[in-house]
Structures are given as structure tokens and as C-alpha cells.
Amino acid sequence: MPFDLETAAHPERLRRVAIDPVSRVEGHGKVTLLLDEAGRVQQARLHIVEFRGFEQFIVGRPYWEVPVMVQRLCGICPVSHHLAASKALDAVVGVTGRGGAHPLPASATAMRRLMHYGQVMQSHALHFFHLASPDLLFGFDSEPQRRHIVGVAEAHPEIARQGVLLRQYGQEVIRATAGKRIHGTGSVPGGVNRLLSDDDHALLKGQAAERIAWAEGAVALAARLHESEPALYRHFGEVPAMMLSLVRPGDGAMELYDGVLRVRHADGSLLLDGHSDQRYLDLIEEEVRPWSYMKFPYLRALGPERGWYRVGPLARVQNCSHIPTPRAEAARQAFVAAAGGAVAHGALSTHWARMIELLYAMEVIAELLDEPALRAGELTASAPRQGGPGGDSEGEREGIASIEAPCGTLIHHYRVGRDELVTHCNLIVSTTHNNQAMNEAVRAVARHYFDGRALTEGLLNRIEVAIRAYDPCLSCATHALGRMPLDVQLSAADGRPLDRLLRDGDGRCTR
């Protein structure tokens, strides 16, 4: 039994508790718990129940469709997929990101970076303000009728307004670079299809200073919440895990668009650095377990039991050597100091790290807006790509790329035949990297809070709080959004119903 509480020895003797769906809005995920007679949790699993098969129906499509197609994996972080695919296909058309005979034009790099940082910003704002802040501002056991963005708007109108407008700014950056806010077309293999217009430049530039100030306020809010209940914030859903992320080559600074892979042990010591994403298959292997459509990746060298890791804001903020923008770096140092030299592994610390990244993204956007290449220059590289008859593997070209999506490292891998059709696609999406960590967080919460107690709405909410901290994109798998309705049923081993707790979408619980 590799993981404590993953698989019970005799499931047939246990009571099943299903939290289904974890997110009713898509119904892609659910949690099941198996309890023994004393009400102790013997098995806890987060299942991803949705299968869409993107990796397979992309095969046979022309490569230039792919960046537009794959972003439909997720409407919350579509830009991550749009750009990861574009970067991978740059290689297929013979264009290199840095240097080389056919480098990506400076304008294309600047536009893509701007688009990406706009996206990180809007996704982080959405996650913190629209989704997580009600739990944090009102408490896990607060009236469920108030725990939502409308409740925040009533109790803290300025926080809600700034949250909505921070997200709006990120979405406007995407519109200005991709043509529309969701599922645009700005990036193409080998370049981009537009530059930043003067109007959009003026709009974004004019609002940047105020948005930076608001982002700093968001960091302060997250820090304040932490200080209000340090033990809870430190230890809730605490799961020591290795940390994987991209960092800037050379100095290991935080970098979200392009970098090299770095892994730290849970104790903070470096395990691996400067690993090229081109060799991700040397680094990562994936396991399939029968109870989830989401695979379980781990470091090949360490095996499935010891090799799993965490990605996303909490990993990135502690994995990088520093953040290359001044305000966010100061915020990072405060975060590190608050942990007193230890590595933070509590689920709720992710929110603080996420707001530090929001500030970083906003600072990068403000810097990029001064970049002249955004408004003048070549759109695409003069790629040497030549077509051919196809059908032979000899002329096949391969492209691999990674990017730091809002919720973690994202890897795209394609092979394209000489006839321009995709012959192979492999994706490891951010939330998949976090699969084991999220399952462990569910178990930590279940172990700590559930054992032997009667079911309450507050207990159920704690499971959601732990999952939600990972910003699980369970639609790339499925992005969990907002209040999750829960239907928990307890059955005796013979199937006799023992207890049932229904929490409606409005948060009311009925038995």
C-alpha cells in the first residue's frame, strides 16, 4: 500500500461517504471516503471523473490549428495552452525561442509574454477574490449563505470591486494581445499575428500604477489573514511535498513564460536544477490508477511513492532564488520570514504565494508596456519549414515546451509529420502534477477533522477548502469554481443508508 489512506485493505467492510460532485458546475470530480465502524477514515480519494480525449483527437489535425484548439482545454487559463502549444510548434516550424538561425522575433516574444502575464494575473485574481476569499474572510464555519462573492461585495465592497477590476485588467491584456478575452488567436507557430495597438497601450498603461497598488493591497490582505490565525494557516491541509517549477536559467529567478526545471526537496534543499524541459520524459513518469482519469506523475528516479511533488504558486515562490521585480521580491521575503526559515507546506499558504505572484505579474506587465517591440517589429520568423508528402517518419518534427500556467507547470509535446498533420500529442497539465498532493491534502483534512465525528457542513467545507487552495484546473482537467454542492451519503456495509447530508448550492444543509 504505497500511500496511507489511499486504498483500504478491506473496502467491502467499510461505509462509503461520497462527496459528489466536488464541483457541481462541471461534475468532473468527486471525493469518496471509506469509514470503519468507529468512523475513522480508512480510504480517501479525489477522483477526476471527466475524460475528453484532447490528446487523441488532435492527432490528424494540421499543426497550425493546435494552439487555437488546445486552449479549449480550459477557459480559465486558455492562454497557457495557447502559448505552450505555440512554443512547442515553434520548434516544429524551425524557430527557436532564444538565438539560433531562425529566432522568434523580439515583438513576438514581447507580445506572448505580455499575454501570459495578463493571464496569470486574471486567473490569480479570479481564484483569490471570486472563489477563495469568502472562506478566508468569513471563516470555514461561517454561514454558507454569505460565503460567496456577493457576500464579499456586501461586507467588503472595496475588496470585491478591486478583485473584479484586477481580473478585468488581466483579461484586457489578453484581449489586446490575443484578439478576445477568452480563446483568442494571438500566437501562431513561429510568432504572433498582431502587435499592441496604440489605444490598447494607452488604456493598459494608464491603469497600471493603480493596479499595482491594488495588487500590493491583495498581498497585504493575504498576509493579514495569515497573521490572524497563524496555526490554522500554517497547518491546515499541510502536506510536505517536493516542489517543481520553471525558473530563469542562470540565476534561478522566478520566471513564468520560459525557463528550466528545478526541483526542491520538501525540506527546501535543491534536488535538481537547470533541467531542460526538452528532456521531461527523463524526469517524469506517470502512473494510471483505476479510480481517476487524471494520471499521477512522479520523478522517475524516485518512483511513485517518493517521487511525487507539488507545482503552482506555493512551489514557485519557494523554489525560485528570488523574484526579479522589487515589490514582489519584498513580498516574497516577508513570506519567507513569516515561515521562520522553514518551508511552508500548508494549503492556505498557497493563497499568500498566489497574491505575491499576482503582484509580480502586474509588475512584469508594467515593465513590458515600456517595451517598444510591442508596438513595432516583425510578427513571425521567416521559418524554414517546408512541406512534404508525409507518411514517413523520417521527416517528422518534434516540439516540446513548458510554461508556468497559473496553477503550475504545463508541458506540451507534439510530433508533426512532413504533411503538416499532428502524429502525436502528450500533455501534462498543471493540475495533473498536483494530483497526488491534492489527494494527500484531502486525506490530511479527513484524518484531522473527520475521524469519529458526525458530519457537518463545516467539515465538508474543509475538504473543499483544501482542494480549492490548489486552484485545481480540473477542466484542464476541471476548474473548481465557487460553492460546491455536496451530497454525502453514509451507508452500512450491507447498503443500508445510515446518514445523509445534503448541502445545496445555496450552502444550506439538510439531513
- Judged by CB under 8 A, the chain residues 107 through 126 that form the site for other proteins are 126
Residue 78 contacts other proteins per CB under 8 A: yes
Q: Is 75 in the site for other proteins (CB under 8 A)?
A: yes
334's grid cell: 516577508
Give me the 158-197 binding string for other proteins, x by CB under 8 A, dash otherwise.
Answer: --xx--xx-xx--x------xxxxxxxxx-x----xx---
Residue 74 in contact with other proteins, rule: CB under 8 A: yes
Angle separating helix axes 198-228 and 157-178, nearest 10 degrees? 140
295 binds other proteins (CB under 8 A): yes
- Write the CA distances from 184 to 70, 159, 174, 175, 178, integer angstroms: 11, 29, 8, 7, 5
Task: Report in angstroms how near the CB of residue 120 gets to other proteins at its nearest.
Answer: 15
Binding mask 300-329 for other proteins (x = CB under 8 A): ----x-------------------------
Residues 345-384 binding other proteins (CB under 8 A) are none
Task: Tell me the CA distances in angstroms from 471 to 53, 63, 303, 313, 476, one per residue in order.
Answer: 22, 30, 26, 10, 11
The residue within the footprint of other proteins, chosen from 4, 37, 141, 150 (CB under 8 A), is 150
- Nearest approach, Cβ of residue 313 and other proteins (Å): 19
Sequence-separated (6 or more) residues with CB below 8 Å from residue 48: 28, 29, 292, 293, 294, 435, 474, 477, 478
The cell for 134 is 469568502
User: Cell numbers at residue 40, please?
Assistant: 475513522
Instruction: Quote the least distance from Cβ 110 to other proteins, whole Å.
Output: 16
Residues 407 and 311: beta-carbon distance below 8 Å: yes
Least distance between other proteins and beta carbon 44 (Å): 12
Cβ proximity to other proteins: between 179 and 230 the closer is 179
- 456 makes contact with other proteins (CB under 8 A): no
For the chain, how are helix, strand and coil distributed in percent, rounded to 5?
A: 45, 20, 35
Nearer to other proteins, 319 or 423 (CB): 423
- Pairing mode, if any, of strands 473-474 and 478-479? antiparallel
Encode 59-117 in three state secondary structure. CCCEHHHHHHHHHHHCCCCHHHHHHHHHHHHHHHCCCECCCCCCECCHHHHHHHHHHHH
Interface with other proteins (CB under 8 A), residue total 105
Burial zone of 499 (CB within 10 Å; 0-12 exposed, 13-18 middle, 19+ buried) = middle
* 370 residue type, one letter: D
Give min distance, CB of 427 to other proteins, in A.
10
**Pairwise CA distance, residues 238 & 441, whole Å:** 7
* Residues, the chain: 511
Taking residues 219 to 258 in sequence order and writing x for each that binds other proteins by CB under 8 A, - otherwise, the string is ----------------------------------------
458 lines the binding site for other proteins (CB under 8 A): no
- Smallest separation, CB 57 to other proteins (Å): 4
The footprint of other proteins on residues 486-505 (CB under 8 A) is 504-505
Using the minimum distance from each CB to other proteins, give the nearer residue, 194 or 211. 194
Residue span 1-30 as binding mask against other proteins, x where in contact by CB under 8 A, dash where not = -----------------x--x-xxxxx--x
- 433 part of the interface to other proteins, by CB under 8 A: no
Interacting residues with other proteins between 463 and 482 (CB under 8 A):
475-476, 478-479, 481-482
Strand partners, 50: none
